[in-house]
Amino acid sequence: MVNQENDIDDVLNELIPETEPGSDSSTETTAFTGTDLETAKQSDAAPEPADNTEGFTIEYMRFEAPTYHLTYEGVEKTFCGRDLSDIEYKSTTNEPELLDPCDLCLQIKNQLSEEEQIEKIREELSAQIPAVSEPTEHPLQFERDEVAGLMKAIPTTLETETGDLADLRAQLKLAIEGVGEAEGDPGQFTNAEMRAFEAALDGDGLISSQNNVYIYTRSGLCKRTELSEFSRQRRGGKGVICCEVDAEDAVEKVQLTDPRKQLLVLTNHGLIHQVKANQIAPKERTEPGEQIHEFLDFDPDERIQAILPIETISEGLFLTLATSDGHVKRTATTEFSNIHRGGIQAVELEGDDRICDVTLTNGSMDILLGTNQGRVIRFDETEAREMGRPARGVHGIELAADDHVVGLTTVEPGHDEEILTVTANGYGKRTAVDEYRTQSRYGSGLLDIVTDDRNGPVVDITRVQPTHDIVLASGDGQLIRIGADDISRLGRNTQGVQVMDLDDGDRVSGVATCGGTE
């Protein structure tokens, strides 16, 4: 056993020539035996490295003098040339493990160049965050408000895979500040790093589970705002602004969902894309959205036609969609388990046909299709046989020459549920699902609501419960939030009641529901 004394620093300085700050900082690894060290102490001579000799082996890594990192079998402490006092070395024939730099070493100023410090911090940060795929595009940049949001959301400490507590927040702060000061492209992070940051937030449940209102416009803008920003009102009100839109643009869709979910996005190309709901830009009520191309790899002429929030893609379920010309298509969700960045085909569309709605079914549900002229058909989902992704589907409803499908919803047979129907002029009603008798697929359906000049055409149908919240959005960017029980429960073939008061020329463009608990 080697006797540890205060002059060990002098011995190490003789073994390892000191490097002046700013000189070459390449890492070197060399092995010495305990006998070599003892001889060096007695003779003040630097020994030659030994390969396989008896006794124990010391390994050191030179970062920049006087910082050295050593470890021995049996010594459960990470230390360097700055804190070797009072350490008892133990003899062993096992080759020791070379550890990472100690915290003290990392805090030493001017030991590594700024570029090396940045690289090291980012490497350590990556090691503490789950692995992510390699970036497929050019590096993207965090804006100042995005950095501030990350810093606010990340906890002070985060448990790593090894069980150690790492100050992730501090390291991320250093990484961001360091990259921002570097030459070249300051402030830029790769796609992989950004996904890692998102995974760190998402993986620890730091993303709020409160429902958000998602808004999508004709020009491809999208945004999300917390539902709590929209107070409940009585039906018949004008609501409040939900999105700033240009005169040439209009709100086309609205949705309520948990930002921790995934969004399946179907487009006019018949493709399906996937994106995390929390990746959609959070905005204030009155702010405009951002282009969907920022989050999804769309072609220039690709547009959103339907969106489905899901927890995960699970076995035993079906992705069921309806098109405007009356086709219905069911495909096992397992066929969508690997949606790549550019999307995959979900349905074949012909001519001017478009996807009007999409949902998940379990194989034992009833499907209801609603049309622009106020008709509804209900049939067993098994009448639409399961098909592969490239198929077009089967006829679901027989349409009049100037009619088209606007909505799809599902119900569980025997459940006491209601169907909400909303028209373009802001009128609507709730109707017991039992009033829609089950028919065979490809019938003409039943008259659901009157579509006269007062009501206008039907915009959407959806399943609701009396306790649900309902939001209606208009093309001009107004939104009203009301309780479902505030809308009258009426029979079929009725006009309904006023749900939203619209300005001249404005019309309801989207309807969404959620459990009324917020």
Last residue of a domain, one of 56, 88, 106: 106
Q: 97 with 136, same domain?
A: no
Cβ contacts of residue 87 below 8 Å, gap of 6+?
4, 75, 77, 79
Domain assignment present for residue 307? The answer is yes
The 3-class secondary structure across 141-187, one letter per residue, is ECCHHHHHHHHHHCCCCEECCCCCEECHHHHHHHHHHHHHHCCCCCC
How far apart are the C-alpha atoms of 178 and 121, rounded to whole Å? 9
Per-residue model confidence (pLDDT) at position 68? 39
Domain assignment present for residue 121? The answer is no
Q: 383 with 244, same domain?
A: yes
Backbone torsion region of residue 137, taken as left when φ is above 0, otherwise alpha when ψ lies between -120 and 50, otherwise beta: beta
Domain that residue 149 falls in: 132-203
Taking the CB of residue 381, how many other CB atoms lie within 10 A of it? 20
Per-residue model confidence (pLDDT) at position 293? 84
Per-block mean pLDDT, blocks of 10 residues, the chain (518 long): 41 41 39 37 40 40 38 45 41 43 45 58 52 37 50 49 45 49 47 53 58 94 94 96 94 93 95 92 91 88 94 91 98 93 94 96 97 98 96 97 97 93 98 96 97 97 96 98 96 96 97 76
Q: 53 with 90, same domain?
A: yes
Cβ contacts of residue 184 below 8 Å, gap of 6+?
none
Last residue of a domain, one of 203, 227, 258: 203
CATH number at residue 360: 2.120.10.90
Q: Reduced to 3 states, what is the DSSP secondary structure of residue 407?
A: strand
Q: 440 with 327, same domain?
A: yes
Per-residue model confidence (pLDDT) at position 28? 38
Q: 157 with 245, same domain?
A: no
How far apart are the C-alpha atoms of 512 and 357, rounded to whole Å? 12
Q: 156 with 75, same domain?
A: no
Instruction: Give pLDDT tens digits for 71-94.
Output: 444 544 444 444 444 444 434 444
Domain assignment present for residue 38? The answer is yes
Domain assignment present for residue 119? The answer is no
Give helix 144-153 / helix 168-181 axis angle, nearest 10°: 160
Domain count, the chain: 3
Q: 234 with 357, same domain?
A: yes
Q: 95 with 144, same domain?
A: no
- Is the alpha carbon torsion for 432, 437, 438, 443 positive or negative? negative
Q: How far, in whole angstroms, is CA 345 from its chain's centroid?
A: 22
Q: Reduced to 3 states, what is the DSSP secondary structure of residue 297?
A: coil
pTM: 0.64
Q: 140 with 217, same domain?
A: no
Q: 185 with 155, same domain?
A: yes
Domain assignment present for residue 127? The answer is no
How far apart are the C-alpha atoms of 347 and 367, rounded to whole Å? 18
Last residue of a domain, one of 203, 229, 252: 203
Q: Reduced to 3 states, what is the DSSP secondary structure of residue 379?
A: strand
Nearest to 179 by CA among 93, 242, 115, 106: 115
Per-residue model confidence (pLDDT) at position 132? 35
Q: 328 with 191, same domain?
A: no
Contacts 24+ apart (CB under 8 A), 166-170: 166/124, 166/128, 168/125, 168/128, 168/129, 168/200
Q: 64 with 195, same domain?
A: no
Domain assignment present for residue 456? The answer is yes
How far apart are the C-alpha atoms of 418 and 399, rounded to whole Å? 24
